[in-house]
């Protein structure tokens, strides 16, 4: 399975290259490989390309959406960002890095859900945040 089998996102706003594991409605893991050719690196920052933190949070949320959308209860629905709490950026992410993304869902109801997500480069935590999803009809 590829991310686009479940996610509505498409390039240039798809930030998951590979699904590692999904437990429907419970958790998901994926990878995002940063080549350096991505559109945002040329302006963030010239001479010192750095992955914007908000895009790291978006990549985590996309993996969380995989956990939600793989659950048959949410077929034909769309999880949208409802909130982001306690976001922390622990290390810079640069071209050539590979992010391993993981989200554990907490509460998940017919209309909303919460999860905790982390992005790693190797063993190092690059970003962590609490996510709130609002689940809407398509």
- Could you give the residue numbers annotated as active site? 44
Name the β-bridge partners of 105. 115
- Cα(first)–Cα(last) distance of the chain, in Å? 22
* Residue 6: Cβ within 10 Å count: 21
Name the β-bridge partners of 84. 131
Token code pair at residue 70: 């793989």
Distance of CA 25 to the CA centre of its chain: 15
């Amino acid at each position: 399975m590829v991310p686009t089998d479940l996610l509505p996102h498409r390039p240039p706003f798809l930030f998951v290259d590979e699904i590692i594991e999904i437990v429907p409605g419970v958790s998901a893991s994926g990878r995002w490989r940063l080549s350096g050719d991505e559109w945002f690196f040329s302006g963030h920052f010239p001479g010192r390309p750095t992955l914007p933190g908000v895009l790291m949070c978006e990549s985590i949320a996309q993996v969380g959406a995989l956990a939600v959308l793989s659950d048959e209860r949410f077929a034909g629905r769309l999880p949208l960002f409802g909130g982001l709490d306690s976001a922390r950026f622990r290390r810079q992410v640069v071209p050539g890095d590979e992010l391993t993304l993981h989200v554990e869902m907490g509460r998940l109801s017919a209309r909303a859900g919460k999860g905790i997500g982390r992005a790693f480069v190797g063993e190092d935590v690059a970003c962590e945040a609490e996510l709130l999803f609002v689940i809407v009809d398509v």
